[in-house]
Amino acid sequence: MVFITVGSQKFQFNRLLIEIDKLAASNCFSDDVFAQIGYCDYKPQNFKYINFLNQDKFVSMLTNCTVIITHGGTGAIIGAVRNGKKVIAVPRLKKFGEHVDDHQIQVVSTFEKMNIISACYEIENLGEVYLNLSNKIFTPYQSNTENIIKDIVEFIECNQRKKENNAN
């Protein structure tokens, strides 16, 4: 299954849904397509959707899909790659009223450079990006949480030693 999620912020992402609808109508996808469309007002004609999934249903969809097509939100991308899914990320753009700025371009670009996702910056290329997905070998996602915690502990310990040395 191909799972589409556009996030839960109060912005539409009709541009993505319209393109996926066109691709579904032309039988581009080799699997069923299901979307969580959030606050979009475009209603797809060629695939199943729901406005919002509860947490359990969302996790179930994420677990059972083979591909996830998502907006450029960090949480959506990391959640998908942590679950070993192939991800296509399409950044929301300010000029289409999809977000307040274009920060998702940088988010998507960063994950693409790490080779853990496929990026689609031009919506008309989505079908091509999807078709090329099966040929891509991604770098497995590795959380950096342990390194961050280690760095914080070292920083605190270093500052503590400096305070102790200054007190003497």
Tell me the pLDDT band of 167, cut-offs 50, 70 and 90: confident
List the structure tokens of 145: 């949480």
- Of residues 142 and 11, more confidence is placed in 11
Greater model confidence, 166 or 42: 42
Average per-residue pLDDT for the chain: 91
The CATH number of 2-142 is which of 3.40.50.2000, 1.10.10.410, 1.10.1200.10, 1.10.3470.10?
A: 3.40.50.2000
CA-nearest of 8, 16, 60 to 38 is: 8
Q: What integer pLDDT is reported at residue 68 of this predicted model? A: 98
> What is the rounded distance in angstroms from the CA atom of residue 134 to the CA atom of residue 149?
36
Q: Please give the helix or strand (H or E) that residue 88 lies within, else none.
A: strand 86-90
d(CA 144, CA 127): 32
- The predicted pLDDT at position 26 comes to 97
Give me the residue spans of the domains in the chain.
2-142
| Total length of the chain | 168
Q: What is the pLDDT of residue 147?
A: 60
Question: What is the percentage of the chain residues whose pLDDT exceeds 70?
Answer: 95
SS3 category, 53: coil
Whole-number pLDDT of residue 145: 64
Q: Over the stretch 86-105, which tens digit does the pLDDT of each residue have? A: 999 999 999 999 999 999 99
**How many C-beta atoms lie closer than 10 Å to residue 56's C-beta?**
8
Residue 57 clears pLDDT 90, i.e. is over it: yes
What does the pLDDT look like over 19-40, one tens digit per residue? 999 999 999 998 999 999 999 9
**Structure confidence at residue 150 (pLDDT):** 66
146: confidence class by pLDDT, cuts 50, 70, 90: low
Q: What is the pLDDT of residues 100-137, one digit of tens each?
A: 999 999 999 999 999 999 999 999 999 999 999 999 99
- Rounded to the nearest 5 percent, the helix, strand and coil shares of the chain are 50, 15, 40
Helices (H), the chain: 14-25, 55-64, 74-82, 103-113, 126-132, 145-167
